[in-house]
Amino acid sequence: MAHLFNRNVLLGVSGGIAAYKSAELVRQLQELGATVRVVMTRGAQEFITPLTLQALSGNPVHTELLDAEAELGMSHIELARWADLLLIAPATADLLARLAAGRADDLLTTVALATAAPLVLAPAMNQQMWRDQATIANVAALASRGYTFVGPASGEQACGDIGPGRMEQPAIIAAAAAGVFENGLLEGKRVVITAGPTREALDPVRYISNHSSGKMGYALAQAAVDAGARTTLVSGPVNLSAPDHARVLHVESATQMLEQCLQLLPECDIFIACAAVADYRPAAIEQQKIKKGPEHINLQLVRNPDIVAAVAASEHRPFTVGFAAETNDLLAHARDKMKRKGLDMIVANDVSNRSIGFNSDNNEATVLWADGEQVLAMTGKSAMARQIIQIIARQLGSPAG
Ligand code: C5P
């Protein structure tokens, strides 16, 4: 059964009588593990109050695009980045038309344009409106953009008509929303991902490390699991719970990380090096705690092995992906790093921008490979992870990639 653990679902509610079922939908999404925020159109508020959906979702409901105070709390762009999935239920005929036209004339349509998250639509309208040529053309246009439709169901309608146009049951919509994250892009592949920082011991109580949160590596592991891959995380010390169905092997130092990765090589088709590996480690680990003494002491450091380069140079090398965090000449340095380390692909981050990278929930990157590149606009780390997995699948020639 598909689930929504660790997923941020933005539920868009537009103005139809089925809006009253959105309350139940919030519950169903939460039961599958999602964190839910709600955006309502003006019409939706005629059918159900924001207060109801606020109480159920446990989050303030967003209703206005041009409201300075609301924008201060969580702007429409932040909402768009926050969402791992935008689910619009009910989606009225008018909402479908506005989406199809690419309009951004209220908060919901603006967020729909501004998000990189997948979109799921649960239409609800009178059966004749659903059958109208205009709606048929809008649905076709939206489906061709890769949006997922759930329903509508057929049956007796609020207006007394009988036919297709009833919003699908909330439980079915929630299950379809969860299903969006499962794709077969890497079915049968074995993926190893390094994540988090390494710790390089100085003595029994001290170490050198860095601020890597591990969020990007863990998001990649989730995306790989969702793509059907047998996924192993080789993780430095982080404060994150591992995705369901991923194997996690905990390590501390770069040397341990290298050893673990080399051991996994015979069962690895794709290697993604996301860890912030310490470049140096203390030349010797003192057996006893180093005592406070002179005003100055010198630490001697030695270079750590380059894990991703070692993997890429191995005999039966997997498809190897690295990351490059740069502060200047991003693409040139990243491409150079890709060649130097013998990688198939590199994800380049501009770390001079403090709103992305290390501890942030957002990221912005360019993915480079031998004869191409793709820019990934700023978005949440899980949406970015899904896009990276899609690009890897495409490079590997997955039919669905
Ligand atoms: O050389 P630099 O640290 O910028 O390279 C970053 C890439 O190399 C990342 O993919 C990182 O995980 C990987 N790396 C590694 N082992 C190291 C240093 C970096 O696998 N010792």
Is residue 55 located within the same domain as residue 132?
A: yes
CA of 276 to the centre of ligand 1 (A): 7
Which ligand 1 atom is the nearest neighbour of the CA of 305?
21
Sign of the alpha-carbon torsion through 125, 129, 134, 139: positive
Q: Which two tokens stand for residue 201?
A: 């011991």
- Inside any domain, residue 1: no
CATH number of domain containing 156 = 3.40.50.1950
Which value, in Å, is the radius of gyration of the alpha carbons in the chain?
A: 24
- Left, alpha or beta for 153 (phi > 0: left; psi -120 to 50: alpha)? beta
Is residue 108 located within the same domain as residue 168?
A: yes
Is residue 204 located within the same domain as residue 81?
A: no
Is residue 259 located within the same domain as residue 117?
A: no
Query: Which protein residue has the closest C-alpha to ligand 1 atom 4?
Result: 324
Residues 312-325: pLDDT tens digits?
999 989 999 999 99
- Inside any domain, residue 58: yes
Domain stop point among 148, 178, 208? 178
- Inside any domain, residue 3: no
Distance CA 79, CA 36 (A): 11
Domain stop point among 150, 178, 206? 178
Which ligand 1 atom is the nearest neighbour of the CA of 341?
8
Report the relative pairing of strands 162-166 and 153-156 from DSSP bridges: antiparallel
CA of 235 to the centre of ligand 1 (A): 14
- Inside any domain, residue 360: yes
Residues of the domain holding 322: 190-397
Q: pLDDT at position 1, please? A: 59
CB 389 within 8 A of CB 217: no
Instruction: Give residues (CB < 6 A) around ligand 1.
Output: 194, 254, 273-275, 277, 304, 306-308, 322-324, 337
Is residue 201 located within the same domain as residue 168?
A: no
Q: Which two tokens stand for residue 108?
A: 């919901």
Is residue 174 located within the same domain as residue 214?
A: no
Is 159 in the active site? yes
Distance CA 248, CA 234 (A): 6
CA 360 to chain centre: 13
Is residue 201 located within the same domain as residue 173?
A: no
Backbone angles phi, psi at 261, to 5 degrees: -65, -40
Alpha helices in 32-132 (DSSP H): 50-57, 68-73, 76-82, 93-100, 107-114, 127-131
Q: pLDDT at position 357, please? A: 57
Is residue 252 located within the same domain as residue 369?
A: yes
CA of 232 to the centre of ligand 1 (A): 18
CB 166 within 8 A of CB 153: yes
Q: pLDDT at position 158, please? A: 86
Helix H or strand E encompassing 141: helix 133-144
Report the relative pairing of strands 190-195 and 345-350 from DSSP bridges: unpaired
- Inside any domain, residue 31: yes
Is residue 90 located within the same domain as residue 210?
A: no
- Inside any domain, residue 81: yes
Query: Which protein residue has the closest C-alpha to ligand 1 atom 21?
Result: 306
Q: Could you give the number of structural domains in the chain?
A: 2
Q: pLDDT at position 400, please? A: 47
Is residue 261 located within the same domain as residue 224?
A: yes
Is residue 349 located within the same domain as residue 379?
A: yes
Q: pLDDT at position 296, please? A: 94
CA of 150 to the centre of ligand 1 (A): 43
Which ligand 1 atom is the nearest neighbour of the CA of 326?
4
Query: Which protein residue has the closest C-alpha to ligand 1 atom 17?
Result: 306
Residues 6 or more apart in contact with residue 265 via CB below 8 angstroms: 271, 311, 314, 316, 318
Distance CA 116, CA 251 (A): 33
Is residue 228 located within the same domain as residue 370?
A: yes
> Which of 194, 199, 270, 277 is the pocket-test mutation for ligand 1 (most atoms within 8 Å of CB)?
277
- Inside any domain, residue 241: yes
Q: pLDDT at position 376, please? A: 86
CA of 68 to the centre of ligand 1 (A): 43
Over its length of 401 residues, how does the chain's per-residue pLDDT go in tens digits? 578 888 999 999 999 999 999 999 999 999 999 999 999 999 999 999 999 999 999 999 999 998 888 888 889 999 999 999 999 999 999 999 999 999 999 999 999 999 999 999 999 999 999 999 999 999 999 988 889 899 999 888 888 888 899 999 999 999 999 988 888 899 999 999 999 999 999 999 999 999 999 999 999 999 999 999 999 999 999 999 988 889 999 999 999 999 999 999 999 999 999 999 999 999 999 999 999 999 999 999 999 999 999 999 999 899 999 999 998 999 999 999 999 999 999 999 988 776 665 567 777 899 999 999 998 877 788 888 989 999 999 999 855 44
- Inside any domain, residue 183: no
CATH number of domain containing 232 = 3.40.50.10300
Domain stop point among 128, 156, 178? 178
